[in-house]
């Protein structure tokens, strides 16, 4: 096994070589092998990640806008130009021109492109809403096939399905859900894989950044897809934050539990309302979160300048209305240039561990059995965090220590079961009163 520092050194050498070969701006060689990157894209590349932004085609002709885009970012997402209403305003008649301008601008400068988005309830042209199941299925099939074929081989990741869940974890009642039923997401992913075998296929949503009913529902879907071989490669966490919806304290744990399912995670639409130091600190913490999750492969901010943000009053971006670098910009750049982080090139199943629970529930009581499984590398100590429903109280547990009897509980390994060989499992259990179902355990290896 190559040591982390050796891997980091090797990567830095590769990045410098790649930067030289691609003519990437922003890498300054200081002396010997030491380097400090001076742009978001170059600094993220040193950590094996991309740093992207949403882009609007109608601003590309503005020189300040294009200069900042070209200098700072290594990935773009068309903000509206790849949505269904923009691409297929009339059934079977496609208009790719605006999105093509973004794709060629980006690819001509070595940036990768995120495709956003194939199946979404919003920004649908009127004709879609009037279709019966048979016609909607064939329209969805044709839309995915035509759009993905147009840019086949040119899109790094596609948001195949966007925002299909409600806050309580139920399915959103979109035309797709109503006409095609629960299977529409799986259908869309299978169609997408067939249409462009090399694009990474993502599910993308908002308010799924921390652990809650909505992210639990997405987690269960991804787990199910992985267990049945439904093609899915990545999960996008939009990460639109403000005072009502702050950066969650379990952001990293939540991204890590998805990564442990064997998918990449991406921060896809980051913006954080606020200003000054408070905003900068939030941006720093989000950046560090991605750097600390080995399969978090990149960050996209939802726009370049506050001037063109979808919520301009919140001044949620890294550049002000005059394209001045904000404190938030410096915080992100410094975080990207910071210390050791988990590289995104771990073995497919990731290091660390995963946990699943099976609960035997009866009137007034329950027994939970938690299975802890090591990833591709051996585990030498683990902890499982879970939150019991209110009213549930644990009266006994075995093969693990526990930090509390109710609410948020952390179980630690016992002396005899901390070491787990790669891919192997151990179990612990608990007994309680009340209702113990609906629990999502999150495993962390120490
Ligand atoms: O709402 C924020 C984002 C949430 N996640 C999915 C993203 O696709 C979504 O992006 C926003 C765009 O940033 C807005 O620019 O999606 C909005 C629509 O749902 C976009 O707004 C629309 C306006 O509603 C239209 O009136 C306008 O014609 O932008 C259009 C193009 O400027």
The verdict on the CB of residue 310 being under 6 Å from ligand 1 is yes
Set out the domains of the chain in order of their start, with CATH numbers. 4-338 (3.20.20.80), 353-445 (2.60.40.290)
Least confident of 158-172, 290-304, 351-365: 351-365
CB atoms within 10 A of CB 339: 7
pLDDT band at 18 (very low <50, low <70, confident <90, very high): very low
Strand segments, DSSP code E, in 70-168 are: 75-78, 112-119, 157-162
| Atom 28 in ligand 1: residue holding the nearest Cα | 80
Please tell me the predicted confidence (pLDDT) of residue 26. Answer: 57
Ligand 1: distance of its center to the CA of 239 in Å? 15
The verdict on the CB of residue 79 being under 6 Å from ligand 1 is yes
> Mean pLDDT over residues 319-323, rounded?
98
**pTM for this entry:** 0.75
Nearest to 169 by CA among 122, 121, 219, 119: 219
Kindly give the pairing relationship between strand 264-272 and strand 296-301: parallel
pLDDT band at 17 (very low <50, low <70, confident <90, very high): very low
> Mean pLDDT over residues 348-376, rounded?
82
Counting residues of the chain whose pLDDT is more than 90, the rounded percentage is 79
Please tell me the predicted confidence (pLDDT) of residue 343. Answer: 55
> Mean pLDDT over residues 188-214, rounded?
98
23 pLDDT exceeds 70?
no
Q: Classify 419 as helix, strand or coil.
A: strand
185 pLDDT exceeds 90?
yes
pLDDT band at 195 (very low <50, low <70, confident <90, very high): very high
Contact (Cβ atoms closer than 8 angstroms) between residue 314 and residue 22: no
Contact (Cβ atoms closer than 8 angstroms) between residue 99 and residue 75: no
Active site residues: 163, 269
Contact (Cβ atoms closer than 8 angstroms) between residue 68 and residue 307: no
Structure tokens, 299:
């960050």
Kindly give the pairing relationship between strand 400-402 and strand 408-413: antiparallel
Question: How far is 87 from 174, CA to CA, in rounded Å?
Answer: 19
The verdict on the CB of residue 85 being under 6 Å from ligand 1 is no
| Atom 31 in ligand 1: residue holding the nearest Cα | 80
| Atom 14 in ligand 1: residue holding the nearest Cα | 310
Structure tokens, 98:
């605006």
Q: Classify 280 as helix, strand or coil.
A: helix
For residue range 221-279, list pLDDT tens digits in order: 999 999 999 999 999 999 999 999 999 999 999 999 999 999 999 999 999 999 999 99
For residue range 164-173, list pLDDT tens digits in order: 999 999 999 9
> Mean pLDDT over residues 380-402, rounded?
93
CB atoms within 10 A of CB 149: 10
Nearest to 118 by CA among 49, 194, 60: 194
Structure tokens, 137:
């299925």
The verdict on the CB of residue 58 being under 6 Å from ligand 1 is no
């Amino acid at each position: 096994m190559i040591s982390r520092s050796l891997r980091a050194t090797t990567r830095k050498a590769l990045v410098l070589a790649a930067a030289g070969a691609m003519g990437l701006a922003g890498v300054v060689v200081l002396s010997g092998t030491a380097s400090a990157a001076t742009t978001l894209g170059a600094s993220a590349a040193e950590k094996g990640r991309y740093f992207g932004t949403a882009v609007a085609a109608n601003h590309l002709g503005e020189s300040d806008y294009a200069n900042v885009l070209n200098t700072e970012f290594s990935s773009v997402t068309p903000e509206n130009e790849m949505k269904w209403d923009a691409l297929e305003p009339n059934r079977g008649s496609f208009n790719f021109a605006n999105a093509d301008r973004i794709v060629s601008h980006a690819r001509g400068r070595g940036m990768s492109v995120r495709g956003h988005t194939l199946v979404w309830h919003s920004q649908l042209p009127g004709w879609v809403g009037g279709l019966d199941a048979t016609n909607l299925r064939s329209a969805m099939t044709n839309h995915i096939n035509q759009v993905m074929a147009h840019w086949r081989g040119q899109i790094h990741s596609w948001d195949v399905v966007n925002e299909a869940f409600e806050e309580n974890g139920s399915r959103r009642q979109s035309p797709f859900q109503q006409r095609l039923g629960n299977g529409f997401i799986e259908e869309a992913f299978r169609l997408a894989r067939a249409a462009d075998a090399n694009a990474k296929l993502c599910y993308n949503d908002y308010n799924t950044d921390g652990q809650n009913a909505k992210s639990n529902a997405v987690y269960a879907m991804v787990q199910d897809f992985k267990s049945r071989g439904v093609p899915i490669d990545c999960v996008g966490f939009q990460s639109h934050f403000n005072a009502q919806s702050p950066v969650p304290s379990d952001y990293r744990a939540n991204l890590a539990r998805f990564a442990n399912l064997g998918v990449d995670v991406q921060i896809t639409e980051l913006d954080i309302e606020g200003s000054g130091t408070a905003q900068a600190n939030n941006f720093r913490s989000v950046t560090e979160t991605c750097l600390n999750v080995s399969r978090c492969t990149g960050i996209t901010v939802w726009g370049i300048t506050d001037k063109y943000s979808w919520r301009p009053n919140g001044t949620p971006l890294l550049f002000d209305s005059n394209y001045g670098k904000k404190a938030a910009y410096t915080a992100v750049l410094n975080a990207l240039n910071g210390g050791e982080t988990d590289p995104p090139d771990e073995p497919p199943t990731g290091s660390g561990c995963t946990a699943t629970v099976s609960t035997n529930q009866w009137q007034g009581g329950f027994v939970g059995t938690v299975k802890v499984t090591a990833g591709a590398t051996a585990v030498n100590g683990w902890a499982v965090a879970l939150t019991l429903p209110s009213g549930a109280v644990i009266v006994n547990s075995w093969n693990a220590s526990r930090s509390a009897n109710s609410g948020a509980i952390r179980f630690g390994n016992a002396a005899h079961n901390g070491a787990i060989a790669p891919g192997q499992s151990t179990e612990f259990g608990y007994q309680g009163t009340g209702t113990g179902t609906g629990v999502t355990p999150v495993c962390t290896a120490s």
